Amino acid sequence: MSAAALAVATAPHSPTCACSSCRSDLATCSIATFAATVHAAAAQLGAHGRFGARKVFVWALYTALVDAGHSIPLDEFRARLVLAASGGHLDLARADLVAAMPAGMVELSQVDSGVQQFHFVIDSAAAEPWAAAQEAQP
């Protein structure tokens, strides 16, 4: 099975789905399932958990997943984000314009890879508003 097919097959129905296959223990599921679940949660989060269209705060994702019934300690969630990113399952980004962001959200979202610090998961399904306008130009 290809990586893309595996991601679709293991993706949860939605981050709030209550079926037993979706309410996995995020600390022990495969990294592919973990990343698919994180991507699904990112797609469901509104503007309150984002900075721009594509950058989703780690803390907003974590609280949405825990509120939906997923089980994982915060430190393990952060460690698994780094593993998923290093395996190419998702992309992380750092907060560079910290003064323009909610300080508490930035602090709670900090993920330390040992080499770099990150604060966001990139929602690869979301498009920046300027991208659509640029594509529409002849």
- Ordered by start, the domain boundaries in the chain are 3-136
Query: Number of H helices and number of E strands within the chain?
Result: 6, 6
pLDDT tens, 105-135?
A: 788 899 999 999 999 999 988 766 655 555 5
**Percent of the chain at pLDDT exceeding 70:** 72
pTM of the full predicted structure?
0.75
pLDDT of residue 91: 95
HEC readout, 77-125: HHHHHHHHHHCCCCCEECCCCHHHCCHHHHHHHCEECCCCEECEEECCC
